[in-house]
């Protein structure tokens, strides 16, 4: 019975003169999200609202599911849309709607009309009163409650007339594409996919870099990361994923540097290489899944040491999250089950028994000098042998 969805958005409504840019991005992202959904849709703006109109048959659940992944949407309201055929017809349609949606008539309601088309013969106060009256006539068990109604029935008069009373929550945030792009360091763990989701939620599109160490890490570990990228791309849109062979760099570090510094030094080279691809892709920052104190390589000192090699801003959206909070988001967005698959990560293979927790940058740099003869070539090789794939849900 729903021929349309009225899309509610919050923050993007307050951007002044830029408002239309945000609305256009929202429309674009909605069209993209619906591209594989069964049905044909017309997504358009109309007087400060975004509508998804359905053309013919469509799959309701799939549509809601797709829309609930579009950042920028705060609410999805399945709406009835009718042509203006006079008040009597409207009242009949509204009564039929109430009858169908609320089989149990024992409820309180309030009509909230909005006359966006000013040449409509009744104003919103009259519409509220008259439509409320017709509903009460039809269903004597229903009662009006203007303060705390069970059902708020919105009626909006534009070129066409739409009414709705249900709102399914959207993910919030801002439409992807309104805030540039960032390079996510994506591993197979729980944290980095969540970090990518969080940054993307603010309107940032995502590219990703993954470091693996074949044959020490398997093809399945790599596939896991591709799967994670695919899972977050439901929200972020297509992801360009760079898969970097890190084995030789890691072996060189293992061979030449103090073992308790392995992870930090490795991280520093990961950041450098990720930054290379970030620049190449026109990204404005790096994103990691780090959180203060989670492991030895994420103490304040360790983060400072990793950060030191970057010239771009590094965004760490999980910085103040506890693990449990991160897990909750990963369950919500659907990456958790993939993240906990037990495949080896390149960092866990060459891990030291007693990693430094308070690395001193000067000491780390001194250790890195031992790599001087080989590291430039190894970095160049890692960059040149990159495998880049486009990941899309
Ligand atoms: P995650 O769950 O994201 O793997 P983690 O708790 O395992 O995080 P670390 O292994 O210390 O933490 O990694 C910290 C961050 O460094 C990750 O969140 C990710 O952004 C980046 N990172 C770690 N390993 C890799 C990798 N193999 N490829 C790309 N990025 C990585
Ligand atoms: Mg990890």
Q: Which two tokens stand for residue 108?
A: 């309180």
**CA of 191 relative to ligand 1 center, distance in Å:** 7
The whole-model pTM stands at 0.93
Distance 178 CA to ligand 2 centre (A): 29
Nearest-CA residue for atom 16 of ligand 1: 288
Task: Please list, in sequence order, all residues whose beta carbon lies within 8 angstroms of the beta carbon of residue 149, skipping any fewer than 6 positions away.
Answer: 108, 109, 110
Judged on CB neighbours under 10 Å (0-12, 13-18, 19+), 16 is exposed
Q: Of ligand 1's atoms, which has the minimum distance to the CA of residue 289? A: 18
Q: Write down the pLDDT at residue 299.
A: 92
Instruction: Name residues with Cβ closer than 5 Å to ligand 2, which is an ion.
Output: 187, 189
Tell me the two tokens of residue 34. Answer: 């619906």
Task: Indicate which ligand has the atom closest to the C-alpha of 187.
Answer: 1
pLDDT tens-digit series, residues 63-105: 999 999 999 999 999 999 999 999 999 999 999 999 999 999 9
Specify the pLDDT at position 11: 65
Q: Which of 216, 206, 217, 267 is nearest to 242 (CA)?
A: 206
Which of the ligands is closest to the CA of residue 191?
A: 1
Helix (H, G, I), strand (E, B) or coil at 252: helix
Ligand nearest to the CA of 228: 1
Tell me, what's the pLDDT at 15? 62
First to last CA, the chain: 29
Q: Please report the pLDDT score of residue 377 as a whole number.
A: 98
pLDDT at residue number 354: 86
Closest Cα partner for 302 from 274, 266, 332, 258? 266
pLDDT of residue 343: 80
> What's the longest Cα–Cα distance across the chain?
88
- For residue 282, the model assigns a pLDDT of 98
Q: What is the pLDDT of residue 21?
A: 85
| Ligand 1 atom with minimal separation from the 209 CA | 29
List the residue whose alpha carbon is closest to atom 12 of ligand 1.
290
**Closest Cα to residue 152, out of 140, 138, 135, 137?**
135
For residue 76, give the 3-state DSSP assignment.
Answer: strand
Question: What residue ranges of the chain have pLDDT lower than 70?
Answer: 11-15, 347-349
Between strands 161-164 and 151-157, the pairing is antiparallel
For residue 217 the two structure tokens come to: 């890490």
- Ligand 1 lining (C-beta closer than 6 Å): 185-187, 189-192, 209-211, 270, 288-290, 294-295, 297-298, 345-347
> Which residue minimizes the CA distance to atom 18 of ligand 1?
289
* Whole-number Å distance between alpha carbons of 220 and 66: 28
Torsion of CA 306, 307, 310, 316, to 10 degrees: 110
pLDDT of res. 14 = 60
Nearest C-alpha to atom 20 of ligand 1 is from which residue? 288
- Cβ-contact 306, 263 below 8 angstroms: no
CB-CB neighbours of 257 under 10 Å: 20
- What does the pLDDT read at residue 287? 98
Number of alpha carbons in the 13 Å side-chain half-sphere of residue 39? 24
How many CB atoms within 10 Å of residue 258?
Answer: 15
């Amino acid at each position: 019975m729903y021929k349309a969805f009225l899309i509610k958005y919050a923050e993007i409504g307050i951007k002044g003169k830029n408002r239309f840019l945000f609305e256009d991005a929202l429309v674009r992202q909605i069209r993209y999200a619906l591209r594989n959904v069964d049905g044909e849709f017309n997504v358009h703006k109309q007087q400060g609202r975004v509508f998804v109109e359905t053309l013919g048959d469509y799959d309701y659940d799939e549509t809601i599911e797709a829309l609930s992944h579009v950042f920028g949407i705060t609410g999805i309201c399945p709406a009835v849309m009718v042509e203006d055929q006079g008040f009597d017809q409207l009242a009949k349609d509204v009564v039929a709607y109430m009858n169908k949606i609320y089989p149990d008539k024992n409820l309180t309601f309030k009509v909230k009309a909005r006359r966006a088309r000013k040449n409509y013969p009744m104003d919103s106060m009259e519409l509220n009163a008259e439509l409320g009256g017709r509903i009460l006539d039809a269903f004597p068990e229903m009662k009006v409650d203007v303060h705390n109604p069970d059902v708020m029935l919105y009626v909006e008069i534009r070129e066409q007339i739409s009414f709705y009373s249900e709102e399914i929550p959207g993910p919030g945030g801002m439409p992807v594409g309104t805030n540039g792009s960032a390079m996510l360091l994506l591993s197979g763990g729980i944290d980095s996919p969540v970090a990518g989701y969080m940054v993307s939620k603010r309107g940032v599109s995502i590219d990703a870099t993954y470091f693996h160490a074949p044959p020490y890490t398997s093809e399945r570990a790599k596939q896991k990361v591709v799967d994670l990228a695919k899972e977050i791309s439901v929200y972020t849109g297509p992801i360009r994923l760079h898969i970097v062979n890190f084995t030789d760099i890691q072996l060189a570090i293992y061979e030449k540097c103090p073992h308790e510094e392995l992870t930090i030094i490795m991280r520093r080279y990961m950041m450098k290489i990720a930054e290379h691809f970030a620049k190449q892709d026109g990204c404005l920052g790096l994103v990691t899944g780090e959180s203060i104190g989670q492991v030895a390589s994420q103490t304040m000192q360790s983060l400072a040491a990793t950060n030191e090699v970057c010239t771009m801003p590094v965004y760490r959206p999980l910085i103040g999250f506890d693990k449990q909070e991160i897990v909750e988001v990963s369950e919500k967005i659907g990456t958790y089950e993939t993240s906990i698959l037990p495949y080896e990560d390149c960092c866990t293979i060459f891990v030291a028994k007693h990693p430094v927790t308070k690395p001193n940058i000067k000491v780390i740099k001194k250790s890195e000098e031992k790599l001087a003869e080989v590291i430039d070539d190894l970095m160049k090789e890692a960059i040149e042998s990159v495998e880049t794939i486009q990941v899309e849900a």
